[in-house]
Amino acid sequence: MIEPARSHESSRFPIGMFRLGILAMIALMLASITLTWRVGDNIRDEMRAQIDVITAAEKVDHYGTVLEMSMKAVVTNGDSEAAARYRTIQPVLRETLSSLRRDLQSGQNEAAIATVDEADLKLIAMEYQALDLASKGKLPSAQKLIRSSRYDYLNNVYYEGIRAIEKHAARFVKSTRSRLNFYLWTIISLSGMSLALIVVGWFAFVGPVRRWGKEIEIARTAAESSAVKLEENQLELQKLNQRLFRQARVDPLTGLATRLSLNEDAPKWLLTDISPHQYCAAMCDIDFFKQFNDSRGHLAGDQALQLVAEAIRGSLAEGDTAYRLGGEEFLIVMKAASIRAAAVRADKMRLAIAELGIAHSESPLGNVTVSVGVSVLDRAGGMSIERWIRQADEALYEAKNGGRNRVVMSAAGKAGPASVTSIRAAASI
């Protein structure tokens, strides 16, 4: 049975929205990865620059102090080690100033470094002159040069420039930290957006997915149930077809084959192998059966037909087939050595039916009897099935006209000159 369709449509899964959500999540993920990577690079660069600036500023301050103390030791005591230390550290200070100039890339930083650099060069000239004087033993002249107002002025300009550079370096460090904080907050914002998208995706997609999954499960269960029902219906239909096939080929009352089965079996009798036997048709009809039905009723008539069919079935040899053609008429196809051998077997069948002793008050013979006509299939002569059955039917009419309860052979299968041969038991029934 086919169930009626549902009146409401099943909710559809939002595949378009789901695809957009997936694409948005992928895009956000790629953007987060890319920005995180770039932010990481910027953080590393800023931290490196910050460390370089702080280190360079501290070195400049430190080297300046060392040089000042070394110079004082030279001009005061003529210390040769201090003079050597001065000559060693001075180039390092110059290199440090160059590095600091590269790290601090603003106009103000450039001006401050330029001022320090200019003061440092002038101080270097005066200090190297003092070193030469001290090396020649002219310490008073060297002290006078180092303690001059110009030297003090240049020294003050140098240290004020250093302090300005340190302030610029501090501001640079502060701005670097601000940028680092911005980068960190950017990463935190991206992480928050990803989390928010996951939460939105949970409510926007997981709910429909679950509902869709339940609908799929319901549809699968319904499909399995339909498949089971369909299989049951197919089995039932197969059984019904088999029953119809059998009913069409087997007579339900007598259990004998039907006329349809006769039509299906007929071709093989013409195309069978060349064996010594012959196919003979015995057309059988119950005598005065209409009168039996009229006097005893159709129920008794059906019972008589069943008994006659059982007697016919009991008289069949291997390879024989019995058909009920309709009403009280039967056809038995026999394999026999000759038509006479088939007629003898048909007469034994006639006797078996007579010996059933089914009372028939309307028959002159007193019991239910049969008349039989026998014909042989002339395959070599090209005889058709229709002609063969018609000859048996003609022989049956001869048996009826000859007094019934007898077997008559068709003239086409008889060796003698007579048109019909009658075989009948001597004793009356």
Match domain 15-213 to its CATH number in 1.20.1440.210, 3.40.50.10860, 1.10.3720.10, 2.40.50.140.
1.20.1440.210
pLDDT tens digits for range 272-324: 655 667 899 999 999 999 999 999 999 999 999 999 999 999 999 988 999 99
Is residue 360 within 8 Å of residue 367, measured between CB atoms? Answer: yes
The C-alpha atoms of residue 387 and residue 286 are separated, in whole angstroms, by: 23
Q: Across-strand partners of 407? A: 372, 423
Task: State the catalytic residues.
Answer: 328
Domain boundaries, the chain: 15-213, 259-423
pLDDT band at 8 (very low <50, low <70, confident <90, very high): very low
pLDDT tens digits for range 109-168: 667 777 777 887 888 888 888 888 888 888 888 788 888 888 888 888 877 877 777 777
> Please, what is the average pLDDT of the chain?
80
Whether residue 420 has pLDDT greater than 70: no
Six-digit token string for 16:
């378009």
Q: Which tops the pLDDT comparison, 81 or 295?
A: 295
Q: In what order do the strands lie in the sheet with 407-409?
A: 321-326, 329-336, 278-286, 370-376, 407-409, 421-423
Pairing relation of β-strands 370-376 and 407-409?
Answer: parallel
Please tell me the pTM assigned to this model. Answer: 0.47
What would you report as the CA-atom Rg of the chain, rounded to the nearest whole angstrom? 64
Q: Which tops the pLDDT comparison, 197 or 422?
A: 197
CATH architecture of 259-423: 2-Layer Sandwich (3.30)
**At residue 147, what are phi and psi to the nearest 5 degrees?**
-100, 10
